[in-house]
Amino acid sequence: MRKSLIALFAAALASIASAATLSPIQLLNPTGSTAGQAIVSMGPSTAPGWATVTAGGITPIAANSVYANFTGASASPIANAVPSCSTGNSALKYTSGTGFSCGATFALTSGNLSQFAATTSAQLAGALSDETGTGLAVFGTSPSLTTPTIAGGALSGTFSGTPTFSGAVTFSTAVAVTSGGTGSGTASGARTNLGLGTIATQNASAVAITGGSIDGAAIGQVTAAAGTFTNVQATGFINPSQTSGLIGTTTNNNASAGSWGEYQSASPVGISLTNSTATNITSISLTAGDWDVTGNVYFTTGTGDTMTAGRVSVSATSATQAAVPLYTAIGGISVTPGNEVSGIAPMQRFSVSTTTTVFLVATGFHSGGTLTGQGIVRARRVR
C-alpha cells in the first residue's frame, strides 16, 4: 500500500513537470534576454545568443531601393528601385500593382496658376466666392465692358489715349467736366446727365462729339440756365487750346455729317425747259435738322428762241415754285438766241424732323426755240 502511494505521488509530479514543459514548450533558457529579442548567429566561432534584429542586419540592396511587393497579388517582398523625382514640380507617384514613378504635373503650393491648363473666365468665376458681375475677366489694356455699373463714390482718373464708348454712357451722379491740356484745365462745373454721344478726333486740338448732350440739351444748344461751357462748338468740338467762344475749323476740311456747318450741294447738266412750266433743275436730300437752302439758275436760249421772263426758287414740292415772296421773278427782258440770264433763289429755312428732299425749281417764259436751265442748289446746316 505504501508503495502504491509513492508511485501515485511520483506520477503526479511527472504530470506537473510535463505540463510545465509543454505549455508553452520551454526549449530555451530566457535568462539574460529582453522582450523582442531573438536568437541570432554570432558567427562561426561564437555560440548563438539573444540579440535585437535591426534593419542593418538585412542583406544590403541597391541604392534608392525598397523591399516591397509591387505585384497585384500576395508575394514575397523584393528590392524595388525608387525614382529620384528631382526635377521641378515633380513628386513621387505610386500606382497600385505597378510601383513608384515620377509625376511632373502636380500642383504645388509654391507654384502659380501657370501650372494648370488654360482656364476660361467662367471656370475662374466658378472658383471664386466674392466676385461681382458676370461675363469675361477684364484686364487693363483695351478692355471691352458691356453695360457696366459704377456704384458709389466718385469716378476718378484720366482717360488717356483714344477711349471709345460704343453706346450711350449714363452718369447717375454729377460729373466734373474739365477741358484738356497737359497738366492743367479749366473746370466747367459739375453736370448731371452728361450724354457723351459719339466721340471722334477731329484734329490735333479738337474732339468732335456727335449726338452729345449736357443737362438734357444737345451740345451747341445749351441754354444759359444750364451753365456756360467754353470751347463747345455747335458740332460738339472741344478745343483745349481755346479760352473762350466757339471755334471754327482752321483748315479746308468739311464739317462731319450731322454737325453744325455741314454743307451739301448739287449741280447737274442743263435741263430743257417747257414754256411757262415749273421744272426741277436738281435736288438735294436733307437729313433731319435746321438748314438754310439757296440756289442759282442760268437760263440759256437756243437757236431761234427768245426768253421774256423767268422764275427761280427752292421748294419742298417737286416741280412747284415756292409761294410769293420766296421766288425770284425775272421780267421785262428779251434774251435772244445764244445769250443767257440768271436768277438767284431766295434763301429759305428748312427745319425738318426726317430726311426731306428739296428741289431747285425754274420756270422759263420763251418762244421760238429751246431754252435750257442749269443751276446749283446749296444747303448749310445752321445748328
d(CA 234, CA 258): 10
Asked if residue 39 belongs to a domain, the reply is: no
Query: If residue 312 lies in a helix (H) or strand (E), which one and from where to where?
Result: strand 306-315
End residue of a domain, out of 259, 289, 322: 259
Could you give the 3-state DSSP secondary structure of residue 21? helix
Residues 228, 230, 233, 238, CA torsion sign:
negative
Q: Which residue has the higher pLDDT, 20 or 119?
A: 119
Asked if residue 194 belongs to a domain, the reply is: yes
Residue-range definition of the domain harbouring residue 278: 263-381
Q: 292 with 327, same domain?
A: yes
Report how many domains make up the chain. 2
Q: Give residue 22's pLDDT band: very low, low, confident or very high (50, 70, 90).
A: very low
Asked if residue 96 belongs to a domain, the reply is: no
CATH of the domain at 367: 2.60.120
Q: 202 with 185, same domain?
A: yes
Q: 306 with 328, same domain?
A: yes
Residues 259, 261, 267, 271, CA torsion sign:
positive
Average pLDDT score over the chain: 75
Are 377 and 293 in contact, with CB atoms under 8 Å apart?
yes
pLDDT tens-digit readout, 27-44: 567 777 888 788 888 888
Backbone angles phi, psi at 335, to 5 degrees: -95, 110
Asked if residue 235 belongs to a domain, the reply is: yes
Predicted local distance difference test score (pLDDT) of residue 204: 47
Asked if residue 154 belongs to a domain, the reply is: no
235 has a pLDDT exceeding 50: no
Q: 314 with 352, same domain?
A: yes
Q: 251 with 300, same domain?
A: no
Asked if residue 196 belongs to a domain, the reply is: yes
Asked if residue 337 belongs to a domain, the reply is: yes
74 has a pLDDT exceeding 80: yes
- Lowest mean pLDDT segment, chosen from 57-66, 101-110, 145-154, 179-188: 179-188
Section 311-333 average pLDDT: 96
* Cell numbers at 235, concatenated: 458740332
Backbone angles phi, psi at 15, to 5 degrees: -65, -40
No. of H helices and E strands in the chain? 2, 22
d(CA 307, CA 63): 122
Q: 238 with 172, same domain?
A: yes
pLDDT tens-digit readout, 325-360: 999 999 999 999 999 999 999 999 999 999 999 999
Q: Give residue 99's pLDDT band: very low, low, confident or very high (50, 70, 90).
A: confident
Q: What are the beta bridge partners of residue 201? A: 207
* Cell numbers at 366, concatenated: 420763251
Predicted local distance difference test score (pLDDT) of residue 164: 61
Backbone angles phi, psi at 5, to 5 degrees: -65, -40
Are 248 and 239 in contact, with CB atoms under 8 Å apart?
no
d(CA 234, CA 382): 9
* Cell numbers at 61, concatenated: 540592396
d(CA 140, CA 131): 18
End residue of a domain, out of 211, 232, 259: 259
Section 205-210 average pLDDT: 54
Q: 277 with 248, same domain?
A: no
Q: Give residue 234's pLDDT band: very low, low, confident or very high (50, 70, 90).
A: very low
Q: Which residue has the higher pLDDT, 287 or 111?
A: 287
Predicted local distance difference test score (pLDDT) of residue 208: 55
Q: 252 with 298, same domain?
A: no
149 has a pLDDT exceeding 60: yes
Asked if residue 146 belongs to a domain, the reply is: no
Which residues make Cβ contacts (< 8 Å) with residue 43, sequence separation at least 6? Answer: none
Q: 251 with 339, same domain?
A: no
pTM given for the model? 0.42
Q: Give residue 223's pLDDT band: very low, low, confident or very high (50, 70, 90).
A: very low
Predicted local distance difference test score (pLDDT) of residue 142: 75
End residue of a domain, out of 259, 276, 302: 259
Q: Which of 93, 104, 103 is nearest to 70 (CA)?
A: 93
Could you give the 3-state DSSP secondary structure of residue 93? strand
Q: Give residue 276's pLDDT band: very low, low, confident or very high (50, 70, 90).
A: very high
Q: 374 with 272, same domain?
A: yes
Q: 254 with 267, same domain?
A: no
Which residues make Cβ contacts (< 8 Å) with residue 249, sequence separation at least 6? Answer: 203, 255, 261
With b meaning 16 or more CB within 10 Å and e meaning fewer, what string describes 49-79? eeeeeeeeeeeeeeeeeeeeebeeeeeeeee
Q: 377 with 274, same domain?
A: yes
Are 10 and 24 in contact, with CB atoms under 8 Å apart?
no
Count of C-beta atoms within a 10 Å radius of residue 322? 20
